[in-house]
Amino acid sequence: MPRKIAAGNWKMNGTEASLAELAALTANHPAPSVSVLLCPPATLLARMSATAGPIATGGQDCHAAVSGAHTGDTSAQMLADAGATYCLTGHSERRTDHSETDAIVAAKSQAAYDAGLTAVICIGETLAEREAGTTLAVITAQLDGSVPATANAQNTVIAYEPVWAIGTGLVPTTDQIAEVHAHIRAQLSDKDIPLLYGGSVKGTNAAEIFAVPHVDGALVGGASLKAADFSPIITALENA
Ligand code: PGA
Total residues belonging to the chain: 240
User: 204: CA distance to ligand 1 center in Å?
Assistant: 15
* 92 Cα nearest atom in ligand 1: 8
pLDDT digits (tens, 9 = 90+) for 134-193: 999 999 999 999 999 999 999 999 999 999 999 999 999 999 999 999 999 999 988 899
Helix, strand, or coil (residue 120):
strand
Rounded Cα–Cα distance for residues 21 and 47 (Å):
13
User: 108: CA distance to ligand 1 center in Å?
Assistant: 21
* 122 Cα nearest atom in ligand 1: 9
Protein residue whose Cα sits closest to atom 2 of ligand 1 = 221
User: 206: CA distance to ligand 1 center in Å?
Assistant: 13
Protein residue whose Cα sits closest to atom 7 of ligand 1 = 221
pLDDT digits (tens, 9 = 90+) for 25-47: 999 999 999 999 999 999 999 99
**Is the distance from the beta carbon of residue 8 to the nearest atom of ligand 1 less than 6 Å?**
no
CB distance 233 to 202 below 8 Å? yes
Please say if the pLDDT value at position 1 is more than 80.
no
The alpha carbons of the chain give a radius of gyration, in whole angstroms, of 16
Q: Which of 5, 38, 219, 225 to mutate to test the pocket of ligand 1 (most atoms within 8 A of CB)?
A: 219
Given this model, what pLDDT does residue 190 score? 82
pTM metric for this prediction:
0.97
Could you give the residue numbers annotated as active site? 91, 161
Alpha helices in the chain (DSSP H): 19-28, 42-50, 76-81, 92-97, 102-114, 127-131, 135-146, 174-187, 206-210, 227-239
